Structure 1
Amino acid sequence: MTESLGLAELLDRYQPQGPAEAADHARVLGLVGAADPWDRKTPLHFTASALIVHPTTQRVLLRWHARQQAWLHVGGHGDPGETLPLEIALRESREETSLRDLVPWPTASLVHLAVVPVPASPEEPAHEHADLRFLLATRSPDLALPENPESPLVWLSSAEARQRTTEENFRETLDRAGRLLAAAG
């Protein structure tokens, strides 16, 4: 059984890489004591996501996000009552890819923390996500199915995925995953 850490312990154990991530880390630590740090109505709130990897082929799975108009990873908001970041990332990943064999890889540790601006939409004002990113592995990449036609999925090498995305913060996640995949290969 994988240990799922609560928000405070996960962030306490995490070692940011570089000054930008250290600043984001320091900023979001203040959210930990909030009544609901996952509350979508607050201008800055937590989300949990994952880059799904297939270690055997060293490929990663990207999902088209229509709202952001970008190829990104999977993940999203916690549902009411959810508080464990890894469990949220696993649920969201299963919902968005139909993959049922997902496991934390190479460990259950947080791989990247990024504060990401989210543009306004007709449903909500502009806000920010404190995105907690994990790596999840599958043994059955061919079983990945998009949750809807507007959100296609594609398997790519880390380098190809880096070229496909427009988001610099996600390129950092891809770089970290690529190094881990190369080391495991």
Structure 2
Amino acid sequence: MESLADLLDSYKPRTDAEAADVARVRDLPHGGDPWSRDTPLHVTASAVIVHPPTRRVLLRWHARQRAWLQVGGHGDPGETAPLAVALREGEEETGLTDLTPWPDERLVHVAVVSVTPSATEPAHEHADLRFVLATGTPDAARPEKPGADLRWLTIPDAQELAGPDNLRETLARAAELLG
């Protein structure tokens, strides 16, 4: 699996805003660990999970953000491959053990997103690297905990339900891949 630097070197942003986000992410490794939660901007990895035969996507309710989002999150200590983080987080949050990059291992979207403060951390930003993962066993999906509901949706329904606009863009890119 590609490292952060390799992924960014081969990635082509689609918009000026995304190019600016990619530039911010590229600058992170020069300031230390880009995955460190101790910095106001740090890398996360996420994925839209798809079931290609039915063209459905899986969204997860995120209680803190009060929004339906893709699966994903922070790297664990020692993790440096964004796709590996997205795969691990996808399995943890859904219970799906057959997740695979789809249609390949490409990075599909880079978005810097604001995160509201909580009782344990200040407001900060995630430099989120987004992938598409597929499952052949959609009925096996199970929430990782109460309140983290999962929903299989068509792309239009997911775009209507999705929290932030940047997720709608990720869903649009997943739809292009689904054909």
Give 1:92's match in structure 2, choosing from 55, 74, 89: 89
Unpaired segments ≥5 residues, structure 2: none
Q: What is the aligned counterpart of 1:102 among 99, 103, 119?
A: 99
| TM superposition shift of 1:152 | 0.4
Question: Does 1:67 pair with 2:60?
Answer: no
What SS does the corresponding residue of 2:30 show, helix, strand or coil? coil
1:27: how far off?
1.4
Aligned length: 179
Partners of 1:50 and 1:179 in 2: CA distance: 15
Report 1:144-159 matches (<5 A): 144-159=141-156
Code of the aligned partner of 2:160: Q
Counterparts of 2:93 and 2:41, CA distance in 1? 23
What CA deviation, in whole Å up to 9, does each residue of 1:113-153 have, x standing for no partner?
Answer: 00000011000000000000000000000000000111000
RMSD: 0.7
Structure 1 stretches of at least 4 aligned residues deviating more than 4 Å after TM superposition: none
**What SS does the corresponding residue of 1:30 show, helix, strand or coil?**
helix
Aligned counterparts of 2:31 and 2:50: Cα–Cα separation in 1: 33
> Once the two structures are aligned, what percentage of the paired residues are identical?
63
1:10-45 CA-partner distances (Å, limit 9, x unpaired): 000000011110111111110123321000010000
Q: Does 1:5 align with 2:20?
A: no
Aligned mate of 2:12, from 11, 15, 18: 15
Q: Which runs of 5+ in 1 are unaligned?
A: none
Which AA in structure 2 matches 1:179?
A: E
**Do residues 82 (structure 1) and 79 (structure 2) align?**
yes
Task: Calculate the TM-score normalised by the size of structure 2.
Answer: 0.98
For 2:56 and 2:38, locate their aligned partners in 1 and report how far apart those are by CA, in whole Å.
Answer: 35
Distance 1:16 1:153 in 2: 29
SS at match of 1:128: strand
TM-superposed CA distance for 1:102, in Å, is 0.3
**What CA deviation, in whole Å up to 9, does each residue of 1:57-93 have, x standing for no partner?**
0000000000000000000000011111000000000
Which structure 2 residues correspond to residues 9-48 of structure 1 after superposition, within 5 A?
Answer: 9-48=6-45
Structure 2 residue matching 1:33: 3-state secondary structure: helix
* Paired residue type of 1:155: W
For 2:119, give the aligned amino acid: P
Return the match for 1:120 from 93, 117, 120. Answer: 117
Indicate the larger mover: 146-155 or 28-37: 28-37
Distance 2:73 2:123 in 1: 16
